[in-house]
Amino acid sequence: MLKILVADDNFVNRKLLMQLLRDKAACDAAASGAETLEAYNLSLREGRPYDIILLDISMPDIGGLQVLRLVRESEARAGVSAGKGVAVIMVTAYQEPFAEAFNSGCDDYVLKPVEPRDLYAKIDKIAVSRAGSGKEKQ
């Protein structure tokens, strides 16, 4: 089963995403950029890293794009090559930062309101590609 971190400052959005994923993944939640980074780092220290982070762009304290950059910088320092670290899917109502999100290292992008089939397809695509590279945990 996949391990996913749902990072969104809106409680209803977090709850909805976790409900959508209940049969696909074990999910944790974060309500801010700082909580997202804390959960991400804790998962690494425990040796049980996330497979995917669903990351809202508009987050309090540390924005989602900055969180994404910090995660990718952390992976680079640890010697994790691009595409081999945690997959990050930006989940947002904003279309404008689309290019910046990909330039910062996101794996995919989902617009709110989230269409469940689109989200499942993106998660399945990541899971299949990671399984082929030995990244996905069983």
What pLDDT, in 10s, does the model give residues 39-86?
A: 999 999 999 999 999 999 999 899 999 999 999 999 999 999 878 899
In the chain, what are the domains? 2-132 (3.40.50.2300)
- The amino acid present at 93, given as its one-letter code, is A
Looking at residue 138, its pLDDT comes to 34
CA dist., res. 74 & res. 88, Å (int): 14
pTM: 0.92
